[in-house]
Amino acid sequence: MAVFSVGVSDHMMIAHSLRGETFGPAQRLHGATYEVRIELRATELDADGIVADIGALRDALRETLAPLEYRNLDELPEFKTRNSTTEVLCEHIHRQLSRRLVAIRGAGLEVTLVESPVAWASYRGPLSP
């Protein structure tokens, strides 16, 4: 089966801390610049010859990141009961972004956060209903 995808990226800067001995020094309040990369997949192109409009995708991503940007994530309700790890942030952005893409056809969405030159995480799944 053939698959098309279209991807766009943006970035955000946040503070947070991580609970659990696993995290060592990252249990202290620190922060990160995340490059956020999203890919939307589809098995067919629309009449214009695209999976989705890049400008619309970038706007939807920007709106999704806005409530997180320049924030201490420890203070947000979403991250009171679970750690705002890179993996959890990928899933959170995937769910929030899916809601903004309801009008857009697409068989799947992958969200990748690059947290440093040597580490990243991603979450991919169907567009949440």
- The number of residues that bind its own copies (CB under 8 A) is 66
Classify 49 in phi/psi space as left (phi over 0), alpha (psi -120 to 50) or beta: left
Is the distance from CB of 8 to CB of 54 less than 8 angstroms?
yes
Q: Work out how close the CB of 88 gets to its own copies at its nearest, in angstroms, rounded to a whole number.
A: 5
Alpha carbons 27 and 54: distance in angstroms, whole number:
37
Near its own copies in 8-37, by CB under 8 A: 8-11, 13-16, 18-20, 22-26, 28-35
Alpha carbons 18 and 23: distance in angstroms, whole number:
7
Of 4 and 100, nearer to its own copies (C-beta) is 4
Footprint of its own copies (CB under 8 A): 1-11, 13-16, 18-20, 22-26, 28-35, 45, 47-51, 53-55, 58, 69-72, 82-88, 90-91, 115-126
